[in-house]
Amino acid sequence: MFTMKTLAARWFAIPLWQRILAALVLGAVTGWLMGPAATQLQWVGDLFIRMIQMLIVPLVFVTLVSGVAAMAAPAKLGSIGLKAMALYLGTTFIAILFGLAGALILQPGRGVTLDGAAAFDTVAAPVPLGERLMAIVPENVFAAFAAGDILAIIFFGVLLGVGLLLAGDAAKPLARLFAAGSSVMLVVAQIVMEVAPFGVFALVASAMGSTGPSAFVTVFLLVIVVYVGGLAHMIITHAGMVRLLAGRSPGFFFGAAREAQLLAYSTSSSAATLPATLKAAETGLHISPAVASSVIPLGATINMDGTALYVAAVAVFAAQIFGVPLGIGDYAAIALTTVLVSIGTASVPSASLFLMAAVLDVIGISPEQTALVIGFLLPFDRILDMWRTVINVTGDLAVATCVAAMEGELDVAPPGAADTVPAVDR
């Protein structure tokens, strides 16, 4: 006879990633069977995302300050930041090449017409690079916290951590407080993550119910470009750099990343996945908190490999639809502009759609044509965005692993860990 206690024990005995995966599959089936009625479940998923969003600012700030304060020297932070930025930009550029190559090979825009598409009337203009850089320094720290401005919070957190480091013995009580707060926030994040299977089920069911698999017939080739190109990028680029620069096997890496990847797929938000990504970095990949707490939040803000791959593919897709010939210079312009746009993309669902105008503009696509392309893609974007977020989160973990290895901050894994899947906390 099963009791509530027995059922609860059986439930928690299943690794969290398996519960999330089962919820994802059941949600897709439920959404397909229920159709549009499945959107009534959306509130459950929205509630889960709000619980995660509640954690993002305190988790990033407390863990970042604690990690910086635990470093041996402030100069190490600059070394970590430079390596992370270089790797993030490098992987983003490679992702663009995968997007361009896939779109050139499969030609997803060939034969597509936009006759039935409604023009999207609120395409946002790209934010100038100078304004993005200026926004990193907050005018008001408390306003940055209230607005959830991650880059500004990172800037202030780094300064505070360096201050604790330089203050020496006088700052040790406050440093210990932040260290204790970091441990507590990670536990709170794990508690919230236990709700993930229910949130994932609702989000996927709602997404499937509102679009349905049949809706993707008209953009089938573009879906293939994004999914296959993204998978190739993760296997070749991300896993390859982890093997070459950190000495970890792809099996070990993807095993540690799977929980964060599943959550990324269901939420379509790198920011919402931050707690799971930090947990995967520290407990799964054995990255020291000093590196994980600085590189992972930075990646969630500026590393948009999936977005870059997608925007590059859509640029070629749009050129094929409107018959715009593209030369080597055009592809170079797409690559350069996409790097800048992807860095400025907010880590929220479908954000890349609203910054696409800058990329399409450089190849001669008019604002009116851009509005048509976005209006055409918007109904299908959720499933595409889910996969783009998986690519982004995987890139965050790959770069963090490599930076940790280069800085000597990658803890030695248990014997055999290089070729096995790490244990998952239950």
Domains plus CATH for the chain?
Answer: 15-419 (1.10.3860.10)
pLDDT tens track for 26-55: 988 898 888 888 888 888 888 888 887 788
Residue 414: pLDDT over 50: no
Sign, Cα dihedral of 195, 199, 202, 208: negative
At residue 423 the predicted structure's pLDDT band, cuts being 50, 70 and 90, is very low
Least confident of 96-100, 218-222, 304-308, 338-342: 338-342
Q: What is the dihedral of CA 71, 75, 77, 80, to 10 degrees?
A: -120
- DSSP helix/strand/coil, 410: strand
Alpha helices (H) along 35-148 = 42-69, 74-106, 129-135, 141-147
Name residues whose C-beta falls within 8 Å of residue 120's C-beta, 6 or more positions apart in sequence.
Answer: 353, 371, 372, 374, 375, 378
Residue 393: pLDDT over 80: yes
Least confident of 215-219, 263-267, 335-339: 215-219
Section 274-279 average pLDDT: 88
What stretch of H or E contains 225? helix 220-232
Section 105-119 average pLDDT: 72
Q: How far is CA 181 from CA 9, 187, 217, 373, in A?
A: 29, 10, 49, 47
The model's pTM: 0.76
pLDDT value for 251: 93
Residue 415: pLDDT over 50: no
At residue 121 the predicted structure's pLDDT band, cuts being 50, 70 and 90, is low
Least confident of 37-41, 210-214, 361-365: 210-214
pLDDT value for 387: 92
- Backbone φ and ψ for 410, nearest 5 degrees, come out as -100, 110
Instruction: Write down the mean pLDDT value for the chain.
Output: 81
Q: What percent of the chain has pLDDT over 90?
A: 24
Across 167-171, 345-349, 393-397, which has the greatest mean pLDDT? 393-397
The DSSP symbol for 347 reads S
Closest CA relative to residue 216, chosen from 95, 348, 382: 382
The residue type of 174 is L
The DSSP symbol for 327 reads -
Could you give the CA distance from residue 47 to residue 38 in angstroms, rounded to a whole number?
Answer: 16
pLDDT value for 266: 84
Residue 61: pLDDT over 70: yes
pLDDT value for 403: 94
Could you give the CA distance from residue 189 to residue 346 in angstroms, rounded to a whole number?
Answer: 22
Residue 347 vs residue 103, higher pLDDT: 103
Least confident of 24-33, 61-70, 91-100, 102-111: 61-70
The DSSP symbol for 39 reads G
Q: What is the dihedral of CA 95, 98, 99, 100, to 10 degrees?
A: 120
pLDDT value for 153: 84
